[in-house]
Structure 1
Amino acid sequence: MPNCPSCESKEVVKKGRIHNGKQNYKCKACGRQFVEDPQQKLISQQTKDLIDRLLLEKIPLAGIARVCDVSESWLQDYVNRKYESVPRQVEVSFKKKGRLTIQCDEMWSFVGAKGNKQWIWLALDVGTREIVGVHVGDRSEQGARQLWASLPDVYRQCAVAYTDFWDAYALVFPQTRHKAVGKETGKTSYIERFNCTMRQRVSRLVRKTLSFSKKLENHIGAIWMFVHHYNTSLHV
């Protein structure tokens, strides 16, 4: 057995293999894990582009690491940096002032444990199907207020908003332009369909999943990344 590179201890045991098949070792004295003759692996831009696309599908990080032949630790660091860089504001096509209609809804999710609920508030333009408002937080008046604040100015000035009967909407949205409706009316069907699409495409949002978020910033980043991808795909 090789000596530990950190403390030079000889109390070393085998600890499985890393992604490329090399033997992994663990030092019983200091806990360091290492391989003999480690070599820096350069990840190509082509592989990074593939990872970006796979992050938009219902695939856990462990599966992406296997497909792309990268280590899970490298991938987690890459994902952390990727999600940190995702813009936290909507990018939508230009709208003139006039009659605009949006549908709003909130979708349950969690981070770390199911007791840590994180509600995803969304607003969708009925005419263009773009997502025009996003907020992740609690299901309170403050959550509705943050959704309203995330809308571009033209929507706050002109849009008629269809929502469910959750009280928070009525406390925030202008009374003359707020319409609370039931599912049977079909007036919120587009946003409900988008919720279903996002839950099926973003693995950490699937109701029964082992790929749930452990870090709130990554949870929010994954949602925003999918929203930007979705809006862009509407104009391709």
Structure 2
Amino acid sequence: MNKLDLNRRVQIVKALCEGNSLRSTARMTGVAVNTVVKLLTELGSACLDYQDKVMRNLTCQKLQCDEIWSFVYSKAKNVPAEHEGQFGYGDVWTFVAIDADTKLTPCWHVGARDAENACDFINDLKGRLANRVQLTTDGHKMYLNAVENAFGSEIDFAQLVKLYGETVEGQRRYSPAQCTGTIKTVIQGNPDESKVSTSYIERQNLTMRMSMRRFTRLTNAFSKKLENHMYALALYFFHYNFVRTHKSLANPYPRTPAMAAGVTNRIWSFEDVIGLLG
């Protein structure tokens, strides 16, 4: 890595943050794919540590949570017998939280889609907050105990369940059915029902699929190793929170989610990000 100058490392990180795969990044920048992987590993680890440190005492008001599916090594049906049931082979879910006002993603968690991982995720979220919040999730039952165990009565919690109708379009493979309505259920506290929504977190799921090649459906661009998958997520969220300005935060001046949330006072450059390596 010492053989790469700053400009070349910036080129690599920019390509990765714009959704390119490891091999396409290597071809675009003229470096070996192992060099790209090494930089992703080292910088992803640094981004993970930095965000874990600074995402504390956050004053978020309205949070939305959801989980997004991907797979590592192979799809679950193709996992070899020697790895069957071993996490990191087959289905992998990423739990994500987003602040509806600042668009900050204060935390995320990679794991199975079960009650244990939901509890780990919500407990992590609770430890980063400085005040009572309003939280919205979908209707998945795993969130009920997770939120109760982490927050007790110190939260305004609601779930939003979407209702879908049967349509010709919805019967096609990978085409969602038409949403015909929603059911808002107050679980805890006194949430403002007009603010009960999962729109921002669902848009975040789309942004993730567009910004990370390994999340693209129906391709061979999936993650081959769980470690690289997690480092790619750490780099993505750092770029999203600290580097890229958000269109909804343009007034009174261009800001990133981290700026809007008071985590930083400036827009980070890619050189700043690489500076985390020391």
Match of 2:218 in 1: 208
In the alignment, does 2:108 pair up with 1:129? Answer: no
Contact 1:83 1:225 in 2 (8 A): yes
CA distance in 2 between counterparts of 1:161 and 1:139 reads 19
Counterparts in 2 of 1:212 and 1:114: CA distance versus 1, 3 Å? same
5+ residue gaps, structure 1: 1-40
Query: What is the match of residue 65 of structure 2?
Result: 104
Closer/same/farther in 2, CA of residues 188 and 151 from structure 1, 3 Å limit: same
Once the 2 structures are TM-superposed, how far is the Cα of residue 86 of structure 1 from its aligned partner? 2.9
Contact 2:56/2:127 (8 A) holds in 1: no
In 1, the alpha carbon distance for the partners of 2:42 and 2:229 equals 13
What whole-Å deviation, never above 9, does each CA across 1:86-128 have from its counterpart, x for those lacking one?
32527448644xx821100010011101111110001111121
Counterpart AA for 1:132: P
| Residue 124 (structure 2) aligns with | 150
Q: Distance in 1 between matches of 2:216 and 2:22?
A: 14
Cα distance in 1 for partners of 2:54, 2:202 equals 21
Unpaired runs of 5+ residues, structure 2, are 77-89, 163-180, 183-195, 245-255, 260-266, 268-278
- The percent identity for this pair of structures is 29
Aligned to 1:33: none
2:166 paired residue number: none
State the aligned residue count.
194
More displaced stretch, 150-159 vs 119-128: 150-159
TM-score, L = length of structure 1: 0.74
Map residues 1-236 of structure 1 onto 2, 5 A cutoff. Answer: 42-88=3-49, 89=52, 91-92=54-55, 95-96=58-59, 100-115=61-76, 116-151=90-125, 153=127, 155=129, 158-174=132-148, 176=153, 177-183=156-162, 184-185=181-182, 187-232=197-242, 233=244, 234=256, 235=259, 236=267
Q: Distance in 1 between matches of 2:55 and 2:61?
A: 14
Q: Is the 8 A contact 1:92 1:130 kept in 2?
A: no
**Aligned Cα root-mean-square deviation (Å):** 2.4
* Aligned-residue offset at 1:151: 1.5
Runs of 4+ residues over 3 Å off in structure 1: 90-96, 152-157, 183-186
Q: Distance in 1 between matches of 2:67 and 2:42?
A: 27
Is the CA contact 1:117–1:138 (under 8 Å) kept in the aligned structure 2? Answer: yes
Q: Is the 8 A contact 1:132 1:152 kept in 2?
A: no
Q: Which has the higher contact order (CA 8 A, sep 6+)?
A: 2
TM-score (norm 2): 0.63
